[in-house]
Amino acid sequence: MRPLEPVPAILLTAVCQGGEAWAVCRFCRLFLQEHSRKPGLLFFGCFLAGRLVLILASWSLPLPYVILAFGDHALLTGLVMAFFSAPSAKKLFAASVLFTIFTVFGEFCASFVSIFALAYLHLVKRIPEPVLTGRWNSLTAAVSFLGVVWGLHGILRGNAKECSGEKPGKWYLTAVLPLVMATALTDAANWCASRGILLRGEGNLYQAQLFGHGGICLLTALSLIGSGFCLFGMDRIYEEQKKSGRYECRLMAYQMTAEQYRQAERLRHDLKNHVIALQGLLEQKDWAAMNRYLEAMEGMGGFARGEEATGSPVLDAILLRKRKEAEALGIRWECSVKLPANSAVWEFDLCVLFGNLLDNAIAACGQVKGRKGRFLCVQARMVKRCFFLEVKNSFSPEREKHASRREPDREGRRGIGLLNVRDVVGAYHGTMEVEKKEGMFVNTVLLPERTRGEEADSPGISVYDTEGDS
């Protein structure tokens, strides 16, 4: 057993670890949108205690560097996963960001300062072969601590909007890979250094230390740059996909409205001839022929029997198109949609809400075995000065899983559609709930009656699953 470090080093380490624990707790609360203070306080205490135990163990026991590094990463990841209530993929990504900053960026700062400290001792103090011990090691530890805190603060300050947003789970899981690779590479380099495997110059110990710290500094810098480019590229691709989804919604609404307008114009153009034909059938009292003729006019005009006007031409066109798609798949369609005369919800936002939710519902119903079990019910109305939208549809858990395996991008498309819906919900400061129970999905949206973008707050979204893993 090695003797413990002197008291000043222990105090400095405790202060640095306490500061890092505070910075990590603040990062997790903002990034994971944890509004309750209790999880943060519990996380702070457990993380600080666990870190101090690992450091004391490294001082008193001859533990390999690999075990200490793995224990530190596992401690951070486990506590983030246990104490915060965000989606698992997002929590895993947050933990990856944290241990990448701790390991890679912290090591970069320490190596960078070590190079300058060695150069100062050699060139200014005229020490032929300087060695960093005592206060110089304390200095590098303090700079590494400041670098970690500054890095976390920079991420939160420079990416406040991104931190409050949501992305699909697959995006977070994919983004974890470059971060883990950068951390593993840095850990491998540190392990080599702990085993005496360093870049060495041809001269004395001073040059060997410069080469060693310089190599670590270059490696960590390249790892940070590579990870940053990967995350930046993934974020740009995701944003372009979101823009493409919004454009497709707007194009779909335009095409549906234009098609309905053309059909109505064709019917209006031939209205005189249709009236003459109907008068002839009326005089002949051929009721069956009149009924067939009127049904043909309904189809030509783009109207469906029993369909009620919603108060929005764009929404009428979308519901008509989705109803035809559903009926073609044998889905039982139930629709009750009523909008007020002066609705505060923009028609484009209605297109995004209804279009994406109905697309997902029709796709899920299409996976149900047998047409008798396929149903889709959409309701929308004003409830106590709030716009209420509910979409219920049947689904098959088994076929849903198989379809996701056969079409890897299918879940990504749906995820972007739901995130577009969530953006609209957030713009109106509303709530969205997705419930799965007894072979049925229930999507509920509630938008307060206010102007779009007024008093922006973070939107709420809840997901309930009463079937366990189904």
The per-residue pLDDT for 301 is: 54
User: Residue 330, by phi and psi: left (phi above 0), alpha (psi -120 to 50) or beta?
Assistant: left
Helical spans, DSSP H, in 32-133 = 37-60, 65-83, 88-100, 106-123
- Over residues 11-18, mean pLDDT: 76
> In this model, does residue 397 exceed pLDDT 60?
yes
Question: What is the residue-averaged pLDDT of the chain?
Answer: 76
* pTM beyond cutoff 0.85: no
- Over residues 50-71, mean pLDDT: 82
| Structure-token pair, residue 40 | 């943060």
The per-residue pLDDT for 371 is: 75
Crossing angle (nearest 10°) for helices 271-284 and 287-301:
160
> pLDDT tens digit string along 136-158?
777 777 777 787 778 777 776 65
The per-residue pLDDT for 378 is: 92
pLDDT band at 390 (very low <50, low <70, confident <90, very high): very high
- Over residues 168-173, mean pLDDT: 83
The per-residue pLDDT for 167 is: 75
The per-residue pLDDT for 408 is: 45
> In this model, does residue 6 exceed pLDDT 70?
no
Cβ 447 vs Cβ 386: under 8 Å: yes
> pLDDT tens digit string along 238-296?
878 777 766 676 666 667 666 666 666 665 666 666 677 777 777 777 788 878 777 77
> pLDDT tens digit string along 204-241?
778 888 888 888 889 999 998 998 898 888 888 887 87
CA 243, 247, 248, 253 torsion-angle sign: positive
Cβ 341 vs Cβ 349: under 8 Å: no
The per-residue pLDDT for 89 is: 87
Helical spans, DSSP H, in 86-202 = 88-100, 106-123, 135-158, 160-164, 169-194
